[in-house]
Amino acid sequence: MSDRYTVFGNPIEHSKSPMIHRHFAAQTNQALVYDKTLTPVDGFSQALAEFFNQGGRGCNITVPFKEQAWQLADQLSDAARKAGAVNTLTRLENGQLQGDNTDGVGLVQDLIANLRLNLAGKKILLLGAGGAVRGVIGPILAQSPASLLVANRTVEKANQLAKIFAEDGNITACGYPQLAGQQFDLVINGTAASLQGELPPLPDDLLANGAACYDMMYSTSDTAFQIWAKSHGAVIAADGLGMLIEQAAQAFYIWRNCRPVTGKLFLEMR
């Protein structure tokens, strides 16, 4: 009998996770079933309990349930604890639920392994201060950048993140107007606005010579942020498809203790 996994979310129809994990399972000869579960906004804890009571081995969690999953986990990895959000749950032998957050690992893996970017010693700007951003700060700081600046419309939210991660590296916060006169080697968009064609107010001279830009969102065509990046001289203007695949690979590794190869899948999905 195959082990069962799922992804919980609302909406969930768009999710590519089942396809990705089925690919990983076939590649590594793992016997598992992975599907997606549309979950009522007020019914996540009940759906989660039912899934594991019926023998589920693990699950991914997407919007809007990552913070609830964090609260329901019996144990938390360091990454999940600081992120305040869980996107991967594993049922342990004792029945407890282990909560992880693989978003940051997925982002850094895509930047370093796939895009061949070196983050050490670089000036990095992170746009936004929501859950997606919070989940990636720790892994970025672990790469020893010269500095990480979190910019957000509501400065208080950015300041809160800077305080939470202050012991992990050189991290500061500001509002968008304070970006004037500053330049960065890497700019990461952690807001979802660019999928709707919207952008934060970014100065035209934000990018240092040879700078790269990365949108954590992904789309079948260039996002508004990618378009902005290309028109302002970015040498790389990538979207988050690689991050999606790499965070899934990390979750698969947590569950199955084997790491799938991701490169061919990225090309197929692209």
Per-residue pLDDT of the chain (270 residues; tens, 9 = 90+): 689 999 999 999 989 999 999 999 999 999 999 999 999 999 999 999 999 999 999 999 998 899 999 999 999 999 899 889 999 999 999 999 999 999 999 999 999 999 999 999 999 999 999 888 989 999 999 999 999 999 999 999 999 999 999 999 999 999 999 999 999 999 999 998 887 889 999 999 999 999 999 999 988 899 999 999 999 999 999 999 999 999 999 999 999 999 999 988 988 887
175 domain residue, yes or no: yes
Distance from C-alpha of 159 to C-alpha of 122, rounded to nearest angstrom: 21
Among 84, 100, 116, identify where a domain stops.
Answer: 100
- Residues 208-218 have pLDDT tens digits of 999 999 999 98
CATH classification at residue 21? 3.40.50.10860
Report the interhelical angle of 241-256 vs 17-28 (nearest 10°): 50
Containing domain of residue 213, as a range? 104-242
What pairs with residue 32 in β-bridges?
Answer: 3
C-alpha distances (whole Å) from 89 to each of 16, 30, 174, 228 are 18, 18, 33, 36
**Given 36, 66, 82, 123, which residue is catalytic?**
66
Check whether residue 48 and residue 118 sit in a common domain.
no
Q: Which of 100, 97, 105, 65 is nearest to 86 (CA)?
A: 100
Report whether 128 belongs to an annotated binding site: yes
Report whether 132 belongs to an annotated binding site: yes
Assign 117 to helix, strand or coil.
coil
- Residues 36-83 have pLDDT tens digits of 999 999 999 999 999 999 999 999 999 889 999 999 999 999 989 988
Number of compact structural domains in the chain: 2
- To the query of whether residue 230 is one of the catalytic residues in this protein, the response is no
* pTM assigned to the model: 0.92
Report whether 157 belongs to an annotated binding site: yes
Check whether residue 54 and residue 123 sit in a common domain.
no
